[in-house]
Amino acid sequence: MGTSLLRTLVVICLTTLPFLSEAQNSGSGASGGDLSIGPIPSTKTYPAGTQSPIPGAPPLPAVSIDSNQYPPLDKIPPTDSEVVKAWLSKIDLSKAPTSKPTGLNGCSNTTFNADAIAKAGPEGNCWWSCAGCTRSTDITTCPSKGTLGASFDDGPSEFTPTVLQYLAENKLKATFFIVGSRAISLPDVLRAEYMAGHQLCLHTWSHPSLTSLTNEQIVAEFAWSLKAFKDILGMVPNCARPPYSDIDDRVRYIMNAMGLKTILWTRTSTTNFDTNDWKVVDGINPASTSIQAFQGFLTAATTLQTGFIVLTHDLFSQTVALSTKHFLPTALKTPGMKVQSISDCLGQSPGASYFETAGTAGGAASGGTAAGGTAAGGTAPGGTAPAGNSTSGQNGTGKSGSTSPATNQPGSPAKPKDSGASRTKVFLWQSALFLVIILVLV
- pLDDT tens digit sequence for 421-435: 444 444 444 555 555
Catalytic residues: 153, 313
- Nearest Cα to Cα of residue 309 among 361, 239, 249: 239
Q: What is the pLDDT of residues 14-58, one digit of tens each?
A: 444 443 433 433 443 445 678 999 999 999 999 999 999 999 999
Predicted confidence (pLDDT) per residue in 111-145, tens digit:
999 999 999 999 999 999 999 999 999 999 999 99
Distance CA 377, CA 41 (A): 38
Residue 367: predicted pLDDT:
33
Q: Are strands 308-313 and 147-155 parallel, antiparallel or unpaired?
A: parallel
| Backbone angles phi and psi of 147, in degrees to 5 | -115, 130
Q: Which CATH superfamily is domain 67-282+301-419 in?
A: Glycoside hydrolase/deacetylase (3.20.20.370)
Considering the chain, what is the average pLDDT of its residues? Answer: 82
Share of the chain above pLDDT 90, in %: 72
Sorted by sequence, the CB contacts under 8 Å of residue 439 that are 6+ apart come out as: none
pLDDT tens profile 338-366: 999 999 999 999 999 999 999 854 433 33
Query: Is residue 157 over pLDDT 80?
Result: yes
Q: How do residues 75-114 score in pLDDT, each as one tens digit?
A: 999 999 999 999 999 999 999 999 999 998 889 999 999 9
Q: Where are the domains of the chain?
A: 3-40+421-441, 67-282+301-419
Q: For the segment 280-294, what is each residue's pLDDT rounded down to a tens digit?
A: 999 999 999 999 999
Q: Is the pLDDT of residue 172 over 60?
A: yes
